[in-house]
Amino acid sequence: MVTIIDLLAWRVMQYADRGYITSSLTVASFFLFLHEIRNKKMCGIWAIFGSPDDTSIQCNAAHKITHRGPDAFRIETIHHFPTCCLGFHRLAIVDDLQGMQPMRVFRYPHVWLIYNGEIYNHQELQKEFDFHYATKCDGEAIIHLYAHGGIEFAAKHLDGVFSFCLLDTANRKVFLGRDTYGVRPMFRLYNDNGFLAVCSEAKGLIGLSQEAYSEHVEPFLPGHVESYKLDMLGKASFEERIRFHKVGEAPAYKTVAEIQDKNDVEENIRILLEAAVEKRLMAERRIGCLLSGGLDSSLVASILVKKAKEMKLSYRIQTFAIGMENSPDLLAARKVANFLETEHHEVVFTPEEGIAALEDVIYHLESYDVTTIRASVGMFLLSKYIKEKTDTTVILSGEGSDEIAQGYIYFHNAPSATDADIESKRLCEDLYMFDVLRGDRSTSAWGLEIRVPFLDHKFSSYYLSLSDSIKQPQKGIEKYLLRSAFDGIDLLPTDILWRPKEAFSDGVSSKTRSWFEILQEFICEQVNDSDLESTALTYKHNTPRTKEALYYRQIFEKFYPGQGDWIPYYWMPKWTGATDPSARTLKHYKQ
């Protein structure tokens, strides 16, 4: 299959051979450019089936997620399926055959695929099953796996993060799927009239249906696949939902990294986390790392720098930190960056900038959860800086470690090791509504792609399988096992490796005034006591108990009226009498 990119490459080589291009650097730069445009994968998907309205009008809703892929857009109707439509947003695409979606391949012309994500084992799958790929896109593996063994078989064999919508026109079927932790988002709207709509973000579905029924947009459950049958009018009828993978289960696919000694737990943790970072370097793009100076992001950054040197990447790794003037996070991140010799960027934000960002943050998050919003402001502003001031687009982050490795301070209060393990797995199950959501939306708002090694299937399933007692906080230190696994190997400064957990409100705060206090002072001026007293009459689900919660809920309802059930509860620490999610309210905090 010859593509535009291949023709361009062939022409450049011709000119170089004939002496028209004399600089080897020019040729090398051109091919680096081709690799970059071939491999940009941050995107947004949108689709409707059985539409009762004019699809040419409804497809305008797809533009609400343009930020996820601002450089290319395609909307496509399907022959013989006039009430169906597929939409796709992508970054900087030139070749529609190898990169643009909906994706189709000659071998299976009846299969249409739109997906958002990265399939890290696509080359291993090609070798294992003798697949004949028509493109160089990792997502093509989904089509071949489906053709080989069905949709559940396909989802089980994917090592990566993904949300997808696959249309099989030969069998008149639609299949939806999402990765185990919900790292890549997807929402669905479905009703008894046979109308099915899916989108990477809920905003692409709000107001889509004009019929006289209550539209119910809901997040697609991670670790599941669903199948729908299309009738001759293209209307969808739900068939079944299958959970193909659970948090903590070992993956079904073959993995490259295997533990060497079952008894050497710390060595195994190092092997699997390093492998998780390494596979996430699958990109011909500049890769950077968010760096707060805490344990999780510092570990990821240190492994990233190590792997970049081994792979002889042509650029220095960029690291990015944000905080108020002289905040603890900025100082700690600076120390890590100096140790790792990264190209470090510091963003200092003011209280006014943080407050001004709140409404945009809530719009992009599609959440009113208090702690999620507080923590998202910094990441949102930092992502804006990365997009506008650097050429890094893929960023690694430490999300997921607190849930996997029991890193929250309230784990010190767990009644037993068993209770702590149950809580850890519960947090992992719900990550897609909180920290994973924060990471995706804060970065995708600015067209960036976040990757989270701690939620690697192999690493997380191994760590969660360890005995309950070994995973608990020890010697008054949370994530003791994870820290000790990397102790003594000079990967990080010792004081960073053993730095206590820092609440976001304090980590980014100046020494004189915390982000937490700034928010309370501002919101108290925006919300009256009487408004809070009557809030139970307005919001029966997740009734706001504080002025801050009410303020966020009011903004949320302005954008997404009546959709408060997208989150089942406010994130709160367990085993405490706390009335606020901030770690600063806990007895053990900075003890």
Annotated binding site: 138, 290, 322, 397-398
CA end-to-end distance (rounded Å), the chain? 63
Annotated binding site for ATP: 290, 322, 397-398
Asked if 320 and 452 sit in the same domain, the reply is yes
Asked if 443 and 313 sit in the same domain, the reply is yes
Q: Is residue 59 part of a domain?
A: yes
Q: Report, as an integer, the average pLDDT of 300-313.
A: 96
Asked if 239 and 269 sit in the same domain, the reply is no
DSSP code of residue 249: P
- Helix H or strand E segment including 487: none
Host domain of residue 280: 265-522
CB 169 within 8 A of CB 78: yes
Q: Is residue 353 part of a domain?
A: yes
3-state class of 197 per DSSP?
strand
Q: Report, as an integer, the average pLDDT of 204-228.
A: 83
Q: Is residue 24 part of a domain?
A: no
Number of domains in the chain: 2
pLDDT over threshold 70, residue 525: yes
Rg of the chain on CA atoms, in Å: 24
Residue of 43, 59, 85, 165 marked catalytic: 43
CATH number at residue 231: 3.60.20.10
State pTM to two decimals: 0.90
- Helix H or strand E segment including 114: strand 108-119
Crossing angle of helices 295-311/328-340, nearest 10°? 20
562-585: per-residue pLDDT in tens?
999 999 999 999 999 888 887 555
Asked if 199 and 277 sit in the same domain, the reply is no
Asked if 167 and 212 sit in the same domain, the reply is yes
pLDDT over threshold 50, residue 488: yes
Annotated binding site for L-glutamine: 138
CB 14 within 8 A of CB 266: no
Asked if 338 and 232 sit in the same domain, the reply is no
Asked if 283 and 176 sit in the same domain, the reply is no
Band of pLDDT at residue 2, cut at 50, 70 and 90: very low
pLDDT over threshold 50, residue 213: no
Contacts for 203 with CB less than 8 Å, ≥ 6 apart: 64, 65, 363, 366, 559, 560
137-179: per-residue pLDDT in tens?
899 999 999 999 999 999 999 999 999 999 999 999 999 999 9
Q: Is 43 a catalytic residue?
A: yes
